Amino acid sequence: MVLTIERTKLVLPGPITKKVLMIPRTITTWQSLSWQEELSQLITDPETLLDLVQLDKTLLPQAKKAAELFPLRTTPSFARRIRPGDINDPLLRQILPIDQELHSPMEYSTDPLAEVHSTVAKGLIHKYEGRVLLVAASQCAINCRYCFRRHFDYAGNTPSRGEWQAALTYIQQNDSIEEVILSGGDPLAISDKQIQWLISEICQIPHITRLRIHTRLPIVLPSRMTSGLLDILSQHRLQSVLVVHCNHAQEIDEEVSNALQAIAQAGITLLNQTVLLRGINDDANSLTTLSKRLFSARALPYYLHLLDKVNGASHFNVEESDAIDLHRQLLASLPGYLVPKLVKEVPDKPSKVPINY
């Protein structure tokens, strides 16, 4: 069976057979797991996911095929927020491998941001003036199907503890660098001990004044935001910024909201970036609701990104003219501080490129 996209919806060419199965008992057990336990019980098998969301197994062959190119990976916590039986659920669409990932137009590539040209040491990307990005982890808790790093060579770019020195030396020797960004993979997927060590090394470099962390864990694994981690992230000499990645209001349940509020209460500047995704959030209602819900949880909407043209993700693309229309609607219906900047990344530009109109 092949899924096709018609306008913004996935259409099944046959009836959806809703299973009368109850969600497996383990899903309630998951609610009481520690973050480490939940991380060790990620859903990586398409059949398990289809069972959980009560969808027809006719989707299985294509899901398995697409997962060979980029594995399925999600936390039980994120899966719990998917509406059972709905193939168009905006959370499911972000994680379910489908046939359309197997075909990419010419302008799509495996490294759409040309990061290979900005890699200055193993795990260190220096693309923009004044800040560098450290690939602190090789994996995420969730594999987003549209991820621009879905083909990234993590094996070749994640330093071992012994290899960090080259990256840290580069930062020490460049006093124009003021900010270090921890990215990945998801930097919060590594242990508290490793994060603490990395932050303490960064703190020893006098010209670094800001630490930024890009993470999706507060959204997809909110139990990760323990008081111990929040202490590590906030109790050092640097100004702290944490940028989460949330694309739809349905991702923010009570547990996520509490996790976000805890980050803000720890004195960390909390921002959100969203990728504009066809069939997921490409309507004004979804985006305005998202901005309001983020702000209720004390996160400021920061960027609304156009899709990076990575192989396997072309079915998520929203044309720039449509994005501009949507952004106009956001401006008309929200206070300015709740309207994220509309941007895109263009390789070799000195910053993200604002889409002005």
- The residues binding ligand SF4 (CB under 6 A) are 140, 142-144, 147, 149, 186, 216, 245
Name the token pair of 121: 């040491």
The distance of Cα 24 from the centroid of its chain, to the nearest Å, equals 27
Q: Which is closer to ligand SF4, CB of 274 or CB of 291?
A: 274
Q: Which is closer to ligand SF4, CB of 147 or CB of 225?
A: 147
Q: Is the dihedral of CA 152, 242, 220, 187 positive or negative?
A: positive
CA distances from 86 to 17, 61, 78, 89, 93 (A): 11, 18, 15, 5, 10
Q: Which is closer to ligand SF4, CB of 245 or CB of 278?
A: 245
Angstrom distance (rounded) from CA 265 to CA 267: 5
Work out how close the CB of 147 gets to ligand SF4 at its nearest, in angstroms, rounded to a whole number.
Answer: 3
Q: Which is closer to ligand SF4, CB of 144 or CB of 259?
A: 144
Q: Which is closer to ligand SF4, CB of 54 or CB of 138?
A: 138
Q: Which residue in this structure is represented by tokens 């959204």?
A: 219
CA distances from 181 to 175, 210, 298 (A): 16, 9, 21
Angstrom distance (rounded) from CA 180 to CA 256: 26
Work out how close the CB of 25 gets to ligand SF4 at its nearest, in angstroms, rounded to a whole number.
Answer: 28
Work out how close the CB of 84 gets to ligand SF4 at its nearest, in angstroms, rounded to a whole number.
Answer: 23
CA distances from 71 to 310, 344, 351 (A): 16, 26, 31
Q: What is the DSSP letter of 236?
A: S
Q: Which is closer to ligand SF4, CB of 144 or CB of 256?
A: 144
Q: What is the DSSP letter of 308?
A: P
Work out how close the CB of 218 gets to ligand SF4 at its nearest, in angstroms, rounded to a whole number.
Answer: 11
Work out how close the CB of 213 gets to ligand SF4 at its nearest, in angstroms, rounded to a whole number.
Answer: 12
Work out how close the CB of 219 gets to ligand SF4 at its nearest, in angstroms, rounded to a whole number.
Answer: 9
